[in-house]
Amino acid sequence: MNALGRHILVEFYDCSPELMNDVVHIENSMVAAAETAGATVINSTFHHFSPYGVSGVVVIQESHLAIHTWPEFGYAAVDLFTCGDSVDPWVSYSFLKDAFEAGHGSSMELRRGQLNLLKRTDFNLDALRDVAQRPTDVPGTITRDVWFTERDENIALSLKHTGNQLYKKDSDYQRVEVFETLAYGNMLTLDGMVMCTQKDEYVYHEMITHVPMFSHRKAKRALVIGGGDGGTVRELLRHEQLEEVTLVEIDALVIEACKLHLPETAVAFDNPRLNLLVEDGIKYINECEDGRYDLIIIDSADPVGPGEGLFTAEFYKEVYRCLTPDGVMITQSESPRFNSGVFVEIYDTYKQIFGDNKVHCYLAAIPTYPTGTWSFSYSSKGESNPLVFDKAAAAQFSKAQGLKYYNEDIHVAAFALPNFVKELLSHGSQEVIEQYSAEPTNE
Residues with catalytic roles:
63, 68, 83, 299
Strands 244-249 and 185-190 turn out to be unpaired
What is the H or E stretch that residue 270 is in?
none
- Residues ≥6 apart with Cβ < 8 Å to 53: 21, 68, 69, 70, 71
300 is an annotated ligand-binding site residue = yes
Flag whether 135 is marked binding.
Answer: no
Counting Cα atoms < 13 Å in the Cβ hemisphere of 387 gives 11
205 is an annotated ligand-binding site residue:
yes
For residue 111, the SS3 value is strand
CA of 187: how far to CAs of 23, 45, 99, in Å?
A: 15, 19, 27
* DSSP string for residues in 368-384: TSTTSEEEEEEEESSS-
Instruction: Select from 245, 224, 369 the least CA-distant residue to 300.
Output: 224
Longest dimension (CA), the chain: 89
Q: Is 229 annotated as a binding residue?
A: yes
Under 8 Å between Cβ of 39 and 85: no
What gap in Å lies between CA 150 and CA 172, rounded to an integer? 22
326 is in an annotated binding site: no
Q: Is 306 annotated as a binding residue?
A: yes
Q: Beta strands 221-226 and 244-249: pairing type?
A: parallel
- The β-bridge relationship of strands 373-380 and 359-365 is antiparallel
Residue 240 is which amino acid? Answer: E
Strand 293-299: give its sheet, edge to edge.
274-278, 244-249, 221-226, 293-299, 323-332, 373-380, 359-365
* String of DSSP letters for 161-227: E-S---EEEE-SS-EEEEEEETTTEEEEEETTEEEEETTTHHHHHHHHHHHHHHH-TT--EEEEEE-
| Closest residue by Cα to residue 272 from 234, 247, 235, 244 | 244
- Residue 301 among known ligand-binding residues: yes
Is-contact 188 179, C-beta < 8 A?
no
Indicate the annotated binding residues: 174, 205, 229, 249, 280-281, 299-302, 306
Indicate the annotated binding residues for S-methyl-5'-thioadenosine: 174, 249, 280-281, 306
Indicate the annotated binding residues for spermidine: 205, 229, 299-302
